Every structure is written in C-alpha cells, then in structure tokens.
C-alpha cells in the first residue's frame, strides 16, 4: 500500500543493531590509535615530569622569599651562608670550634653548654646553616667536597684563624669527613657525634662491604629503600619522598620504631621545650634543605673514610667518634669498624644512649675540651659517662685460632683507646680502668667520673 510502513521483525532489528555496533568499533583507523597512544604517553610523561621535578626554592632575601634576619657572609660563588657566634669573643678565644648541625637542624642548635664552662675554657663557637637550611642560600651543585670548601671559606671570611676545631652531629658528620679529606691542614681536632654512615662508601674491602650490608639490614625496609633511591636514582628522589603509595623515611613519617628508649625519653623532654628557629629550618623548601642533604650524603663519593690519611702524623691532634650503643638510626658496627681500621681515630661508645644523646645535658654538659698534661694543647675529648666497649669474641663453632686472632686484634684496639683515655683522664685527676673477663672475653674500658 502506498505510503505504508514496512514492518521489520524484532530479530532483524537486533541483528542490524549488532552489525552497526560492530562496524562502528572497527572504524578506529591505525592513525587514530597512534594518536590516542601518543596523547596518553604525553600525559604520562607530563605527570612524571611534574612529580620528579623538585619545586623551586624560596630564597631568603628575594621577592616572595623569607626575610634575612641573621648575619651572613657572601662566598666566592655569590651564595650566602648564615652564621651564629656563641661564647667568648673570637679575638680572646683559646679554642675556636665550628659546629656542624645535622639533619633537619640549623645554626640555632642548642649545645646545652653552660656559659660558665665556656668562659672558663675560653671557647668561641661558630655555628652556621648549611646550604639550603635556614637562611643560607640553596646550592644546586652541592657536593661532599663543597661542604668542606664552604667551611673553609666561612672561616676565612670571619677571620677565625688558620686552624680550628670541628664538631659534626649526625648528618653533619659527612662534612667533617670531607674536611679530613680535602682540608686536613685547617683543623686541629675533630669530633663526630652519632655520625652519619654511607652504605656504599667506595673502595671498601669485602669485609667492610659485608658490614655495610649488615648495617643497612638493621634499618626498617622503608629507610633502606629511601637510601637506595637516593644513591642509585637521585633523579627519582623527589617523587619517592612525595608519593603516597609506598612508605618512605621513618624519621619524617612519624615511625617511632626507629627510636630506642633513651631517645623516646629525650623526645618527651624536647617536645616540652620550644625550639628556637625551628620554623626557619625548611623555610626555603624541604627539597633544598632535607632532601638535598640526603642526596649529597648518599651520593657517589670520591673517597671513603678508609682512604683518608692520618691528618696528624706527629700526634699533634686527634679525631673522636662518639656513638650511642642503643642507636637505631646509625648502626654502631660500621663506625666501630672504621675506628678499628684507622688507629688515629678514638672511638667512644656510650652505654644506654641513642641517637639523640647530643641533646642530653648530662652528656653535652660533661663535654670537656681538656689540654694535655701541660695544658698547652686541646685534646678535643668529651669526657663523661662514656665507655669504649670491645666486641665479644666469636661464639661457639668458630675455630679456636680464629677466636684467638679476633681477641688479640680487639685487645690491641682496646689497649690503644685505654692508653689515650687514661692520659686525658689523668689530666683531670680521674682514672681509666681496663678490665677483662665475662662471656666471650669481652674487653671494656670505662672512664668513670667521680
């Protein structure tokens, strides 16, 4: 019939619809597929670039940046280092000590040393913000060697003399290693307190490499991965520290498991006391302060501690390592081994102390920078409730000859420490006691203050 509508069965309609859909899905040409793939890849690369690229720093004294409120010196490359002086005037000082702060700290570090003690010995302290921290300019080309050169130039700019003393706390210890390597002629004594260790120091013999592996295995998995990323893939570090998929550095994410009991007690004390300058530490950006500090510390060094020659071949100076025996952040076995292999380093292992012992007024308050018998030179020692503790001999199952050799090496090391500590303690009328015995023939040197 004219103008009539042709009837189509339901089955025929469904078949027609399926054919249309199939035809439509096949209409994506290879060119379109390539274009979609390129767009997805570009988006992924853009996201990766944003995630990997560190944010620009907010440099002090520049438009939009924090104000400059501390004295600063300008270095030869144009950067500024902020500093703080404490103690007697440097013109009158007998001892001039440069203090190097650690991770997430600054020149406002409280040494908890009494003014009476400072004046008695005539000590001048120079504290400074390391590059990127506090009010010191960031340094994109920051390096281990650069840390020593910054310290040398700071000392020259402030005219504190041709020689000075060094104290490095925690992460601030790697600049001390740098000074020992690159400017050994500029310092008389140095102390490394709960010092940083590098798990990939170059040119270490096999045994030390094994010790490094044992050392890093004592850390939480999240910390091991953080340090591995910093060492092997530094370009990925900003993403690693800002991503939410995997846990990263314990000390920055509130993982209290890395603190031993003495550290937890110290944290309670510190939390009840306001910290001066805390708000300035990361004010130029967390990347330029904390992240870059980790990157430089765990970068590929040109040397390791065992490559450093004795800076005091005539025994005119000394280097000291102070390690908390309960420290869970810095493995003691690595610092202990370094001290054993380098006879010019005096190693002190403090019992019942952790990583935060530097904030303990009992420990720091007993900081004694004492002279020799004639009081003509500075020994750079911390004298307090400290012990240099030998490691127990190998356990059962180890051949007797190996045990005897291990005991002999350990006894020689302990004897060296005892002789030095005995000399220093005699200056104060104290006595050093050397005892042996106990399971495994452990050797102990105890410096007991009256």
Domains delineated in the chain: 72-368 (3.40.50.1820)
Instruction: Provide the percentage of residues in the chain whose pLDDT is more than 90.
Output: 46
Cβ(192)–Cβ(319) below 8 Å: yes
Exposure string for 264-276, b = 16+ CB within 10 A, e = fewer: eebeeeeeeeeee
Which of the four pLDDT bands, split at 50, 70 and 90, describes residue 414?
Answer: very low
The answer on pLDDT for 15 being more than 50 is: yes
* Cβ burial, residue 58 (10 Å; 0-12/13-18/19+): middle
Query: Rounded to 5 degrees, what are φ and ψ at 445?
Result: -115, 120
Determine the pLDDT at residue 282. Answer: 95
Determine the pLDDT at residue 316. Answer: 80
What is the number of helices (H) and of strands (E) in the chain?
15, 11
Segment 384-412 shows an average pLDDT of: 40
Widest CA span in the chain? 131
pTM: 0.74
Segment 322-329 shows an average pLDDT of: 92
Segment 432-444 shows an average pLDDT of: 29
Cβ(14)–Cβ(20) below 8 Å: no
Cβ(82)–Cβ(72) below 8 Å: yes
Copy the structure tokens of residue 260.
């031993």
SS3 95: strand
Determine the pLDDT at residue 327. Answer: 92
Least confident of 18-27, 40-49, 83-92, 97-106: 18-27
Cβ(445)–Cβ(432) below 8 Å: yes
| DSSP secondary structure of 279-307 | GGTTTT-HIIIIIHHHHHHTS--S--GGG
CA pair distance 42, 45, nearest whole angstrom: 5
Segment 379-397 shows an average pLDDT of: 34
Please state, rounded to an integer, the average pLDDT across all residues of the chain: 77
Cβ(432)–Cβ(418) below 8 Å: yes
In terms of pLDDT, which residue wins out, 182 or 49? 182
């Amino acid at each position: 019939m004219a103008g009539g509508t042709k009837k189509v069965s339901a089955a025929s309609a469904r078949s027609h619809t399926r054919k249309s859909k199939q035809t439509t899905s096949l209409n994506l040409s290879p060119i379109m597929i390539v274009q979609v793939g390129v767009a997805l890849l570009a988006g992924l690369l853009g996201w990766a670039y944003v995630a990997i690229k560190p944010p620009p720093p907010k440099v002090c004294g520049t438009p939009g940046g924090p104000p400059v409120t501390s004295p600063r010196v300008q270095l030869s490359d144009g950067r500024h280092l902020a500093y703080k002086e404490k103690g007697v005037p440097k013109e009158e000082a007998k001892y001039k000590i440069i203090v190097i702060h650690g991770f997430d700290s600054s020149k406002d570090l409280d040494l908890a040393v009494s003014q009476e003690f400072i004046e008695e010995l005539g000590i001048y302290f120079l504290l400074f913000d390391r590059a990127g921290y506090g009010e010191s300019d960031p340094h994109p080309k920051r390096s281990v060697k650069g840390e020593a050169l910054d310290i040398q130039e700071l000392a020259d700019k402030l005219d504190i003399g041709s020689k000075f003393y060094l104290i490095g706390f925690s992460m601030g210890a790697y600049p001390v290693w740098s000074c020992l390597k690159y400017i050994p002629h500029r310092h008389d004594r140095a102390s490394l307190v709960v010092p940083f260790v590098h798990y990939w120091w170059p040119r270490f013999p096999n045994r030390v490499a094994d010790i490094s592996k044992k050392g890093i295995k004592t850390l939480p998995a999240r910390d091991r991965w953080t340090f591995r990323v910093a060492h092997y893939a530094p370009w990925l570090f900003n993403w690693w520290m800002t991503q939410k998929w995997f846990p990263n550095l314990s000390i920055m994410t509130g993982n209290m498991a890395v603190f031993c009991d003495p550290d937890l007690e110290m944290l309670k004390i510190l939390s009840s006391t306001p910290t001066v300058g805390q708000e300035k530490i990361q004010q130029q950006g967390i990347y330029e302060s904390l992240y870059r500090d980790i990157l430089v510390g765990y970068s590929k060094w040109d040397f390791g501690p065992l490559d450093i020659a004795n800076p005091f071949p005539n025994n005119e100076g000394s280097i000291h390592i102070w390690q908390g025996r309960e420290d869970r952040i810095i493995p003691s076995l690595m610092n202990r081994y370094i001290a054993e292999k380098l006879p010019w380093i005096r190693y002190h292992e403090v019992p019942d102390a952790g990583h935060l012992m530097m904030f303990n007024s009992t420990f720091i308050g007993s900081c004694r920078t004492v002279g020799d018998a004639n009081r003509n030179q500075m020994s750079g020692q911390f004298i307090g409730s400290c012990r240099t503790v030998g490691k127990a001999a190998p356990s059962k199952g180890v051949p007797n000859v190996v045990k005897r050799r291990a005991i002999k090496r350990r006894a020689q090391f302990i004897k060296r420490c005892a002789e030095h500590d005995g000399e220093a303690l005699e200056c104060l009328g104290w006595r050093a006691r050397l005892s042996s015995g106990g399971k495994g023939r452990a050797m102990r040197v105890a410096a007991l203050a009256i």
